[in-house]
Amino acid sequence: RGAKAPDYLSGLNPEQRAAVETTEGPVLVLAGAGTGKTRVLTTRIAHILATGHAWPSQILAVTFTNKAAREMKQRIGLLVGGEVEGMPWLGTFHSIGVKILRRHAELVGLKPNFTILDTDDQIRLIKQLIQAENLDDKRWPARTFATMLDGWKNKGLSPKDIPEGDARAFAGKGRQLYADYQNRLLTLNACDFGDLLMHPIALFKANPDVLADYHRRFRYILVDEYQDTNVAQYLWLRLLAQRPRETSAKNAPPINICCVGDDDQSIYGWRGAEVDNILRFDKDFPGAAVIRLERNYRSTGHILGAASHLIAHNEDRLGKTLFTDTPDPEDPKVEVNAGWDSEEEARAIGEAIEDLQRREDHNLNDMAILVRASFQMRAFEDRFVTMGLNYRVIGGPRFYERMEIRDALAYFRCVCQPADDLAFERIVNTPKRGLGDATVRLVHDYARGREIPLIAAAGEMVETEELKPKPRNTLRALVADFRRWSELLSTSKHTELAEQILDESGYTEMWQNDRSAEAPGRLENLKELIRSMEAYESLPSFLEHVALVMDAEQENEVDAVSIMTLHSAKGLEFETVFLPGWEEGLFPHQRALDEGGRSGLEEERRLAYVGITRAKRRAKIWFVSNRRIHGLWQSTIPSRFLDELPEAHVDVMEANTSYGGYGAGGFGGYGASRWDGGAAFKQSAYGTPGWKRAQAAQAGFAGGDQQTRGGDGWSGGRTREISYEAEPG
Ligand code: ATP
Ligand code: MG
């Protein structure tokens, strides 16, 4: 073979290169932020392809988000010099899970065109089941059950496996509700996000021949962000990566697994991620090569110094050394800024962004605001709209979650998946057609009795006397509409059909006649929905895309500041990162403080580490002394994490705020409570007595915390679906 290494290998350091070139046998890359773990994975795939070790279809590669998967695919193409044909198995746990499940749906009692429930559908369904058990759904809220359900599925537990305590929850009906829920999903021909892994695990176990097929198929398995896999994901991976002993004896080609991760960046423990997965890798995969990378290529010495010093306060960690290039005296230190309240914080950050744009010729794309809780986003959004500053929210409530979009999607789902009862229920009387609850209940009963979908039941009932003439006629027309649209599915262009459905159903008209201020925006959104379909081949493939890819609108090309939660920033990097809200009770979050133990607080600290290490050149931290949460003002005190930053790498900024003079205390001289210099100043300036401040800080973020417990709120909403968790969570 030639002496010159292929281009894609040049530039890698020796450890990275070893991780790329050790193609045979299990490999674990355990290394800190910005050391090139993701780059190693990408290059490793390129290497496997370029050297002919495997075809694209023989590689299973798991990334944390769909966006990361797309980027990885692109980069692989660049590395091997040309478009990569295929790579069908590069995606998130969930996108790969759904693909496997579609191929073998029958084995778990589903049809291949099953629907993936979103959170709303799921809650509605659970509520029905709770009511069917004659439980008061106020006392036994569906959301609480949904959270438990998530927890079980993250752990890979089916109804029979859940702990006794859980089984007795919900007035003793916990286990039964879970079982009912799963049965109901099967009759609906639907599954939830957790099932995208649970079903494959079950079917692999029950059908060794199917699993053996995948063992023959996948020669290489690669996983990014391995520290955040949960138990279900781990079980799924292990099934795919390990042949049963009997077969390995027969000279079957090995399956080579390579996982990369960083225990210091494990931030999904609250959603069932198990950092232990990474720590016991060499037990699961004997003979594993464990490779450590110590050179950070992303950040300046100040950023790395600050982050490393902070994370060293955690006791539960393996500990790593990290170094970066010799520092440039020009490198800015990590900044700590103080503000009065969130409005001022947003204003100041907006100005800083414009300033960078002007002075440094920064693109907005190079900047991100990383918040601890999604409620913090609003102030920035409001401010940036006023300033006319382009921004995009990543991981928040977004396009596909808007009411009109969900209604439209429900119509499309009914057309493509006639067993989709939840979709049918959503739109049967939207727009209002006089098909009230009473009628729907009758259809429901009829459907239940015969175990057929609602729409089929409706079709039969309109031929009988069971409904009053008026609703019967309306329903007959609606059923006929759906039949006609379904028939057009194979002949019409899908975008035209979609438009036709919205027109003929009266849905578009409903908003045209609506006098509310939002109506024009909703019509715009519906138009945008149809536009966005053009990139897809068919209505079903579009629906699948919507169910899986909630981060689609990030792709737009405009220059914009990103606003996202710290959780969804994992793996990303930006020239400049703004980190607002470093206050006790918000960050670290009150929930972690309430837990008391070390683990919650340490996870918060890892989150801070993730936040700082997203920055290549500038990290600007903020804290304010007053924050309004759900309409209530709270006085706050600076985050303990500020005290844990090393002076050598940090600049405390002179406040240029309305009250002036913060930073009188500054660094040094105050020891652990050096921030109190500023706080004390504010306190006297504003006359907030110390005890009151302390009390407020203790009461902390009760409101915000409730939101977090609900599941979605604080961690960035749909991250649950688009990253590991739900992708993991
Ligand atoms: P994280 O833990 O945050 O996910 P990571 O370990 O995955 O980080 P990468 O994102 O792969 O790190 O790399 C960080 C940055 O360093 C990227 O911009 C990458 O292109 C660059 N980089 C990695 N390795 C090298 C190298 N050998 N030479 C030059 N740049 C590199
Ligand atoms: Mg990475």
* Residue nearest (by alpha carbon) to ligand 1 atom 23: 36
CB neighbours of 157 closer than 8 A, spacing ≥ 6? none
Binding site members for ATP: 31-38
CA angle centred on 156, ends 152 and 158, rounded to 5°: 70
Distance CA 179, CA 578 (A): 46
Q: What is the DSSP annotation of 172-210?
A: TTHHHHHHHHHHHHHHTTEE-TTHHHHHHHHHHHH-HHH
Select from 192, 189, 197 the least CA-distant residue to 110. 189
Distance CA 581, CA 53 (A): 49
Residue 249 has pLDDT above 60, yes or no: no
Q: Among 143-147, 355-359, 533-537, which is the least confidently predicted range? A: 533-537
| CA 446 – ligand 1 centroid, Å | 59
Binding site members: 31-38
Tens digit of each residue's pLDDT (9 = 90 or more) over 57-109: 999 999 988 888 988 998 998 888 776 777 899 999 999 999 999 999 999 99
Ligand 1 pocket check for 297: Cβ under 6 Å: yes
Q: Which residue has the higher pLDDT, 282 or 641?
A: 641
Distance CA 590, CA 372 (A): 11
Ligand 1 pocket check for 11: Cβ under 6 Å: yes
Residue 1 has pLDDT above 70, yes or no: no
Ligand 1 pocket check for 35: Cβ under 6 Å: yes
| CA 224 – ligand 2 centroid, Å | 7
Q: What is the DSSP annotation of 90-122?
A: EE-HHHHHHHHHHHTGGGGT--TTPEEP-HHHH
304 half-sphere exposure, CB direction, 13 A CA radius: 22
Supply the residues annotated as catalytic.
Answer: 37-38, 224-225, 265, 614
CA angle centred on 422, ends 417 and 427, rounded to 5°: 90
Q: Which residue has the higher pLDDT, 550 or 250?
A: 250
Q: Which residue has the higher pLDDT, 366 or 137?
A: 366
Tens digit of each residue's pLDDT (9 = 90 or more) over 298-315: 999 999 999 999 999 998
Considering every ligand atom shown, identify the ligand nearest to the alpha carbon of residue 612 and give its number: 1
Say what angle helices 174-187 and 119-132 make with each other, to 10 degrees. Answer: 120
Ligand 1 pocket check for 13: Cβ under 6 Å: yes
Q: What is the mean pLDDT of the chain?
A: 83
Q: Which residue type occupies 589?
A: H
Residue 728 has pLDDT above 70, yes or no: no
Adjacent-strand bridge partners of 393: 563
Q: Which pTM was predicted?
A: 0.76
Distance CA 474, CA 627 (A): 52
pLDDT of residue 320: 81
| CA 239 – ligand 1 centroid, Å | 30
Q: Among 173-187, 273-287, 300-314, which is the least confidently predicted range? A: 273-287
Mean pLDDT of the 597-623 span: 95
Percent of the chain with pLDDT over 70: 84
For residue 692, what pLDDT band results from cuts at 50, 70 and 90? very low
Adjacent-strand bridge partners of 124: none
Residue 39 has pLDDT above 80, yes or no: yes
Tens digit of each residue's pLDDT (9 = 90 or more) over 315-335: 888 878 788 877 788 899 999
Please report which residue ranges of 155-300 form alpha helices under DSSP H: 164-167, 174-187, 195-206, 208-217, 231-241, 245-248, 276-279, 281-284
pLDDT of residue 548: 67
Residue 505: helix, strand or coil by DSSP? Answer: coil
123 in Cβ contact with 148 (< 8 Å): no
Q: Which residue type occupies 689?
A: P
Out of 10, 15, 35, mutate this one to test ligand 1's pocket (max ligand atoms within 8 Å of CB): namely 35
